[in-house]
Amino acid sequence: GVDVADVDGRGLGLVAEKDLNNESNNLPALLTIPKELILSATGIEAYAKENKDFRQLLDVAGHQVAHSKPLLVDSWVNRGQHSLDSILQAPPFAGPSPDFVPAVSAKLRALEREFNHIRDTTRELPRWNALLEIDEAVTLSDWILLDALYRSRSLALPKSGESMVPCLDLCNHSTPATAFFEENAEDEVVLFLHKGANVLKQDEVTIDYGHDKSAAEMLFSYGFIDSTSTAKSIVLPVESMDDDPLAKAKLYIFGPAPTLKIIDNDNEAPYWDAPFVHLMCLNDEDGLHFKVLRETDGSQHLRMFWQDIDITGEAGNIESVIKGHDLYHVFRLRAVAVVLGVVQQQLEALAASDEENGSNESLSPHIGRAISQFRAAEKNLLERAFQILEREKNQLLETDSVTAYLATMNAPQQNDIDNEDFA
Ligand SMILES: C[S@@+](CC[C@H](N)C(=O)[O-])C[C@H]1O[C@@H](n2cnc3c(N)ncnc32)[C@H](O)[C@@H]1O
């Protein structure tokens, strides 16, 4: 009941050959793909049993590639030289959001590492070495293309996990989708119309690529953003305060590059996580100290103390360490103010790059559309986070401990009075 056809703006797709209606939920499968055609981890193992050369390849180079999510979230942590940009054409735009370009670079670097690893490990295998080396038959560009094919066409099967399924991979995405797939008892993959779905002749049959995927992940893996996609989460870099004399020590003890993560909560308000922000808001006069510990073997270690208790191992967990303190609300207010600043800066950066790309006529329409959808999704999450933060700031400003603290800060200090008298 389905055929392959060109679908406007989406490449090929599956369309209904006749009106399809599943009101009574007894419509037969639209597609059945035999298990021999499915490329899954089990399928690969089975093939390695049959083919000695492939077994060798899998033993030396298999299971090594990180099948993780796109590297977007890690992009700030992995920032570095854009050494690979020349391999792909340099993108003609600044990227949908400021953290997209480093994410693409980090991804390209990871792919280069993977490719080099495969090339190195296969050198000892004459058959594969010959294949990779003949006139540079297989190059890094092939590996990048292969990764793109895999990321944009693989499906998560309920039993077999991440797999490539021919024919089913012609199905485009929509939410809500009209169809869904399953694995049956014979390990075939079958495509069914959803109960109650109604697809007219020549209309597209679609599946859902995962409504839990963020807009960034959709764009990174599939090259488009569904209009119902939301940002889900945003990770932004956090920088120490310029005038903090303890900044270096704090960063050293903290370890990883500090970030602010804003997470969307489907029905509730977004929340944020930024453990370094709480640490950066504490000072010597609050009771945060650093000491160098000398071991008997002569080695030296930097340790961090809060109210004279060693909390070196708690650097990522400072908020709970300071929670019981009389001035906790003051510390929290400082942290909220810092996070508000980071969010505001990002909103301004988005607005500025919006203006920049608005005038970029070299963009193809679908890239332009994806960029503005991505920005809109990020802006929406940031704006909602901003409101939550503003509300918390105002509540904190009204707590007794904060008003009392601010009153002492604003009152003329004894020193000032003495100086005044003297003057
Ligand atoms: C699994 S393939 C689907 C078949 C694909 N259209 C083809 O021509 O082979 C996934 C790719 O289809 C395109 N695609 C799928 N759904 C789309 C949508 N709703 N809007 C735009 N492009 C879509 C994207 O390029 C995506 O990377």
Of the chain, the end-to-end C-alpha distance in Å amounts to 95
Residue 224 Cβ inside 6 Å of ligand 1? The answer reads yes
The H-or-E segment that residue 12 falls in is strand 11-16
What pLDDT score was predicted for residue 265? 80
Q: What angle do CA 67, 70, 73 make, to 5 degrees?
A: 125
What pLDDT score was predicted for residue 65? 47
Centre of ligand 1 to C-alpha 266, Å, is: 26
What pLDDT score was predicted for residue 423? 38
Q: What is the ipTM of this complex?
A: 0.99
pLDDT tens for 185-243 read 999 999 999 999 999 999 999 999 987 788 888 888 898 888 778 888 888 889 999 89
Q: Which domains does the chain have, with CATH numbers?
A: 2-222 (3.90.1410.10), 233-410 (3.90.1420)
State the closest ligand 1 atom to the C-alpha of 11, by its place in the atom list counted from 1.
Answer: 8
State the closest ligand 1 atom to the C-alpha of 169, by its place in the atom list counted from 1.
Answer: 1
* Ligand 1: residue whose CA is nearest its atom 27: 222
Instruction: Please list the rounded mean pLDDT of every run of 10 residues in the chain (423 residues).
Output: 92 95 85 94 92 92 56 34 31 47 82 89 86 76 92 93 95 94 96 94 94 82 84 87 93 92 85 95 95 90 95 94 95 97 93 71 77 87 95 96 91 58 42
Residue 223 Cβ inside 6 Å of ligand 1? The answer reads yes
Judged by DSSP in three states, 294 sits in: strand
The answer to whether residues 173 and 207 touch, using CB atoms and an 8 Å cutoff, is yes
Centre of ligand 1 to C-alpha 316, Å, is: 41
What pLDDT score was predicted for residue 90? 34
Centre of ligand 1 to C-alpha 16, Å, is: 17
Residue 219 Cβ inside 6 Å of ligand 1? The answer reads no
Place of tokens 């009106």: 19
Residue 187 Cβ inside 6 Å of ligand 1? The answer reads no
Look at strands 172-173 and 204-207 and give their pairing.
parallel
Q: What angle do CA 333, 337, 341 make, to 5 degrees?
A: 170
What pLDDT score was predicted for residue 357? 64
The answer to whether residues 231 and 378 touch, using CB atoms and an 8 Å cutoff, is yes
The answer to whether residues 225 and 377 touch, using CB atoms and an 8 Å cutoff, is yes
For the record, the structure tokens of 116 come out as 């080099």
What pLDDT score was predicted for residue 197? 92
